Amino acid sequence: MSNKKYFETYAVRGASCGDNVTGSISYPIYQTATFKHAGLNNSTGYDYSRVKNPTTEELEKTVALLENGKGAIAFSSGVAAITACIYLFKFGDHVILSDDLYGGSFRLFNQTFKNFEVNSTFVDTTDTNNILNALTKKTRAIFLETPSNPTMKVTDISAVAKICKKNNLLLIVDNTFLTPYYQKPLDLGADLVIHSGTKYLGGHNDVLSGFVVANDESLIERLRNINMSTGAVLSAFDSWLILRGIKTLHIRLDRAQENAIKIAQFLNNNTNVEKVYYVGLEDFEGYELNKSQATGFGSTLSFRLKDKNLVPKILEEVKVITFAESLGGVETLITYPYTQTHADIPEQIKQRLGIDEYLLRLSVGVENIYDLIEDLKRVIGV
């Protein structure tokens, strides 16, 4: 199942290839909170939608199939999926995380769960020595984003997996940026894979969702119990929207990546741009490593301007590109990480990572490339 040539077929047809009861090509939306029983101790297998719903179950099976996992659990958002993983730990446990990652992940570990004494250390995981130096007797997991958000650092998943296996740690990888179409962390040794399904899996900026995928049955059951107990479940209708989005995932990603490469090259040669952060540029630091563990580069990139005074002009005057948070949809979005996605990260850390007043992030969509580049030329110059 791991051969990429199968991916497109599974994405389009899903785990069940439609509804086998009625023959419906589109898997039905089971818009119900509860299910009737034929009698005492006689259940259909579905009792209450917070526990299990057929539409959500079909989505979970499809996502697990695409990630080469044994099981997946759907959540109401990507942050809810990350939160469920943190619930695997207990008072006093320690987690090592990539230092350049989504601001919401940073907030969860550094603020919310710090109150429950789940301790965290943020390091540059592109150098495994940093990980080794951060290990303590209470370390229980390593949490990676690769490529990272927003400066696109690439971490060697297999190398970190070896450290985890040697020290009996969980390896958690956020695979939102590349999706299972381009990268399969479980095949590289990860224990848990996280997705904000809001992004590329949904692909149309119209639904929130999150996923955790695993190969270990006991982990799957623990996470499913956490999901059921805490209640951050995905609704049937939202599950159907993600199923529909996944059908075109490979088409959208290939087209968006094609656009992203051309935009990255344009920005790389722009006199008003100091640096472009995109793993698809051959001279980018993580290019070769990303090629060794992924089959694509994705369509998210960041770039640093030489003059921060250009930022308001760009954000206010783009016409084809939209100034909005999030990423992974068919529309091209531009974001200002300094005050938006990474606002809760302390100033000294942002400055060290280069998340400052000069940095912008682009989520490249599937519009005509000429329109996108002309829009950028108009607001940035050449």
Structural domain includes residue 89: no
Q: Which two tokens stand for residue 103?
A: 């601001």
Question: For position 341, what pLDDT does the model report?
Answer: 73
Q: Identify the domain containing residue 254 by its residue range.
A: 249-380
**Of 294, 87, 56, nearest to 197 (Cα)?**
56
Structural domain includes residue 197: no
Residues forming a β-bridge with 275: 304
Q: Is 6 helix (H, G, I), strand (E, B) or coil?
A: helix
Q: Is 102 part of the annotated catalytic residue set? A: yes
pTM recorded for the entire structure: 0.95
Structural domain includes residue 192: no
Question: For position 326, what pLDDT does the model report?
Answer: 94
Q: Is 174 part of the annotated catalytic residue set? A: yes
Question: For position 6, what pLDDT does the model report?
Answer: 85
Q: Is 378 part of the annotated catalytic residue set? A: no
Question: For position 2, what pLDDT does the model report?
Answer: 45
Q: How far is Cα 145 from Cα 82, in angstroms, rounded to an integer? A: 12
Question: For position 340, what pLDDT does the model report?
Answer: 76
Q: Which two tokens stand for residue 357?
A: 């007043």
Report the domain count for the chain: 1
Per-residue pLDDT of the chain (382 residues; tens, 9 = 90+): 444 448 999 999 999 999 988 999 999 999 999 999 989 999 999 999 999 999 999 999 999 999 999 999 999 999 999 999 999 999 999 999 999 888 888 889 988 898 889 999 999 999 999 999 999 999 999 999 999 999 999 999 999 999 999 999 999 999 999 999 999 999 999 999 999 999 999 999 999 999 999 999 999 999 999 999 999 999 999 999 999 999 999 999 999 999 999 999 999 999 999 999 999 999 999 999 999 999 999 999 999 999 999 999 999 999 999 999 999 999 999 999 888 777 767 777 777 877 899 999 999 999 999 999 999 999 998 8
Structural domain includes residue 273: yes
Q: How far is Cα 125 from Cα 299, in angstroms, rounded to an integer? A: 22
Q: Is 321 helix (H, G, I), strand (E, B) or coil?
A: coil
Structural domain includes residue 333: yes
Question: For position 114, what pLDDT does the model report?
Answer: 84
Active-site entry in 27, 30, 102, 338: 102
Q: How far is Cα 124 from Cα 130, in angstroms, rounded to an integer? A: 6
Structural domain includes residue 215: no
Structural domain includes residue 9: no
CATH number at residue 340: 3.90.1150.10
**Of 96, 151, 112, 125, nearest to 284 (Cα)?**
151
Question: For position 316, what pLDDT does the model report?
Answer: 96
**Of 233, 159, 188, nearest to 68 (Cα)?**
188
Beta strand 322-323 with 210-214 is: unpaired
Active-site entry in 13, 46, 50, 356: 50
Active-site entry in 153, 199, 304, 350: 199
Question: For position 4, what pLDDT does the model report?
Answer: 46
Active-site entry in 93, 99, 100, 174: 174
Structural domain includes residue 326: yes
Looking at residue 124, its amino acid is D
Q: Which two tokens stand for residue 271?
A: 């006199």
